Structure 1
Amino acid sequence: MGSSRCQACGVTISRYANEPVCPTCAASNNTEQVSVHVAAPIASAIWLWATPEATTAIATRDLPTILRTYRRINRLSQTAMAQVLGYDNSYVSMIETGKRAITDVASRRHIAARLGLPAHVLGVTGTDDAEYRAMLQFGDSTVRLAEVARQAGHAVEAVNELWPLVARLEARAAEGRLERDSLVLLAQARVALGVSLGTVLPEERLSSAARWTGLAVAVASRLDDQTFYAHTLRMHGNELRKAGHVGAGVARLEQSAKLSSQPAELGGTLAFLCRATGELGDAERFDAALAEYRRLLDRNAGSGLLFQPFTLREIELRGLLGTGRVSEAGRLVSISVGTPSAPQWRIIERVTSGEVLVAINERDAAADAFADAIKSAEHHRLPHQIQRTIRATTKADMQDLTHDAGAALTRTRSLLAPPPQ
């Protein structure tokens, strides 16, 4: 099936999508126009199969080993195991001890289904298994390419590619057909979807982004991968902050900082932590996070969106303003440092600089910064950045710019609204 276009905004929809409206348009509207399957909570047995012991057993592809491990993890007797499989107790005993080899495809499929395992784990191949392997292979590429698209200013397209992948993985989880590789991909896709939604949704819908990143944290906490867990905590903390739950966001970010080991990872966490503590008006915690960020950047080459001089300047401006140090922010605002790694960061910086310039009574320069932000935010379809500009220009009594921003927001919303029925 080839790609089609959204009936609301005209963007290309993933070839795997089944709805005429793209997911971003659906998520941006206050009514549920697109029905996306959200799986029921994954059964506890599925989580147990994500433990290191279970992973080791599954990797052997040895049926007796898998059965014994499954029993031990789930604390089942052989009699209870026989009931799970629908076999006699003595038959299960012979399988576990290797006295009875199960070689026929039907029996292996039956056992895999009863244990909630993909059939290929027991050496059985078929159409579903081929699709599963393809989903793992191309799903990872989808997540990585969606992140590249988001960072390049194409977050709408990122959402449209990620949402169908997440829906397929959630449906598979609801059927009890998950192993560790699937759990990892599900967590990666959930956090990427949440962050992409957090880039393009208006402020009143940002709780959706926080919910998806929170679901990623729930999986990552069980995967025994400290680096990935720190990543999900970092992204979830920032989405919580954006959704107005700043205190909860700080808690997640501080937890992420403790787990982060690589400079760029820790730098990204500290950047978000600076933002959050600045918004809380907590000067002491802001200064501590900023000082650590600056020391880290002095010792390591900057990389990525969040760990570089341009980002340092923006978060410092915002934090100084948030903690009431207007004069210090005013001295810094005229200093140009580096270039942004993504279009949205240029917009973020323009709004922040505009707010500082208003605070030090440089109104003409502030107006230029706000006008630049409005134009760029509309171009990249970032409604919550337009909303930030509306608040800032309203507070500064810049009525013409507030009107311009309101018109830009209306046009942007019209692109994200579903078509009339």
Structure 2
Amino acid sequence: MHGEHYPDPSAPVVPTRSLIPAAWMWSAREASAALASRDLGTILRTYRRLNGFSQQHLADLLGYDKTYVSMMETGRRSINDIGTRRHIARTLCLPVHIFGVTDVGDADFAAMVQFGDSTIRLAEIARQAGRAVEAVNELWPLTARLEARAANGDIERHTLVLLGRARLALGVSLGAVLPEERLAAAARWTGKALIIAERIDDPPLLAHTLRMHGNELRKANRIPAAIARLRRAVGLSADRVGHATALAFLARAAGEFGHRDLFDSAMARYRHVHDGWDGGGILAHPFTVREIHMRGLVSTGRAAAPAQIMQTAPADAMPSAPAWHVIERVTAGEVHLAAGDHDAADEALRTALTAAEAHRLPHQIQRAIRVAARGGLTGISTDGQGALVRVNRLLAPRGSES
């Protein structure tokens, strides 16, 4: 047809702009439904809408004429050429299998499975280093491909375990970058991981999944369900690291629920496991133990005790995970406010806001805003709202920006 521009499949793909993080694909129901449809037109329309792209902008991105994009979106042009489908998928950072592209013997899937463990491991390292968006972007193509394989009923035990681990890692990474009102999406993914872990005879995997799912439920404010999962995790976690992690998460959940007896019991057991332990890990760090203890004391109505802890026990060396520094600074602000020291609270919360924005942690910004509002620190609340808008602008689909 005159005026159409058919792509050269061998041409290099050079996007005309930096595309949004992949996080929206796993937290926006509209996007997930579009991807699941496997319909090219639906996916293109949804992609444009969520990014705020015009048809002309998408056409420029793909190297096509606008009329060609319009025909693809409306179904008037069927795209059967594998090279064209690969070009569209790669340019828009979508897994090629969504458009029905496989190769002989499904070698691309076999390679993905072969390196799946490394992908998950590297994504976990990125998340712990404060690069959770990067972790999501690494995890979601693997998870999407494994989900498609499972949906077709063509999946063996090793691949099913990999899917469970990918779901879990994706959920935890989403839990680091999504704002509070969308944290249920993170809990849904860790919950889907638990479905697999419950069916596979692998107690360590089940214990690990229960720990992480319980913590995501806590963050999504489903505290009773979180406590139930974490109590199971405590009983099933046979190794010292896992046992300490389960107790730490249980203590935090109990504190947020205001369950003083359970908090005290879990905290005492957590300290007992921690004492004399030099095995490493963020939850074995004195800095972390101190923060969990202080926050739980404040949450269970004992504000004087954490203030004394801060005066008599200075913070230990900074932990390697940036998120924990932010968490501790917000808790410190809360403790200072409870002690009536507004200047120290202001300083702690401003430090938290700066770091939370730098590492794109909207949930911690929202927590700092709440603490500041309760203490009458209106300047912090206002600055926090500005930081939250900026972070959400980076993480949200462009079509949803106000």
Q: TM-score range by the shorter chain?
A: 0.7 to 0.9
C-alpha deviation, 1:328, in angstroms: 0.7
Residue 238 of structure 2 is aligned to residue 239 of structure 1: no
C-alpha deviation, 1:33, in angstroms: 8.4
- Which residue number corresponds to residue 209 of structure 1? 186
- Which residue number corresponds to residue 22 of structure 1? 21
C-alpha deviation, 1:135, in angstroms: 1.8
Structure of greater Rg: 1
Which residues in structure 2 correspond to 1:11-410 (within 5 Å)? 21-27=20-26, 32=31, 35-37=34-36, 127-334=104-311, 335-410=314-389
C-alpha deviation, 1:338, in angstroms: 3.4
Say if 1:322 and 1:255 are closer, same or farther in 2 by CA, change over 3 A: same
Distance 1:341 1:395 in 2: 30
- Asked whether the 8 Å contact 2:247–2:267 carries over to 1, the reply is yes
Say if 1:29 and 1:184 are closer, same or farther in 2 by CA, change over 3 A: closer
- Asked whether the 8 Å contact 2:191–2:213 carries over to 1, the reply is yes
* Superposition TM-score, scaled by structure 1 size: 0.73
C-alpha deviation, 1:131, in angstroms: 3.0
1:251-308 superposed Cα distances (whole Å, 9 cap, x missing partner): 0001011010111111111111110000111111111111111111114224222222
* Superposition TM-score, scaled by structure 2 size: 0.76
Distance 1:156 1:35 in 2: 22
Counterpart AA for 2:22:
P
For structure 1, the residue ranges without an aligned partner over 5 or more in a row are: 11-19, 40-125
Say if 1:271 and 1:363 are closer, same or farther in 2 by CA, change over 3 A: same
1:211-237 superposed Cα distances (whole Å, 9 cap, x missing partner): 000000100111111011100000000
Distance 1:166 1:280 in 2: 33
Name which of structure 1's ranges 132-141 and 361-370 shifts more when overlaid on structure 2: 132-141
Counterpart AA for 1:219:
I
Counterpart AA for 2:185:
S
Identity of aligned residues (%): 51
- Asked whether the 8 Å contact 1:149–1:158 carries over to 2, the reply is yes
Distance 1:176 1:328 in 2: 55
Distance 2:169 2:16 in 1: 21
- Asked whether the 8 Å contact 2:337–2:345 carries over to 1, the reply is yes
Distance 2:233 2:367 in 1: 27
For structure 2, the residue ranges without an aligned partner over 5 or more in a row are: 1-9, 39-102
1:343-377 superposed Cα distances (whole Å, 9 cap, x missing partner): 00000000011001000011111100000000001
- Asked whether the 8 Å contact 1:27–1:201 carries over to 2, the reply is no
Distance 1:228 1:420 in 2: 39
- Which residue number corresponds to residue 88 of structure 2? none
Name which of structure 1's ranges 302-311 and 25-34 shifts more when overlaid on structure 2: 25-34
- Asked whether the 8 Å contact 1:275–1:315 carries over to 2, the reply is yes
- Which residue number corresponds to residue 97 of structure 1? none
- Asked whether the 8 Å contact 1:302–1:309 carries over to 2, the reply is no
Say if 1:382 and 1:290 are closer, same or farther in 2 by CA, change over 3 A: same
Distance 2:13 2:285 in 1: 37
RMSD between superposed Cα atoms in Å: 2.3
* Equivalences, count: 324
C-alpha deviation, 1:327, in angstroms: 1.1
Say if 1:127 and 1:417 are closer, same or farther in 2 by CA, change over 3 A: same
- Asked whether the 8 Å contact 2:330–2:348 carries over to 1, the reply is yes
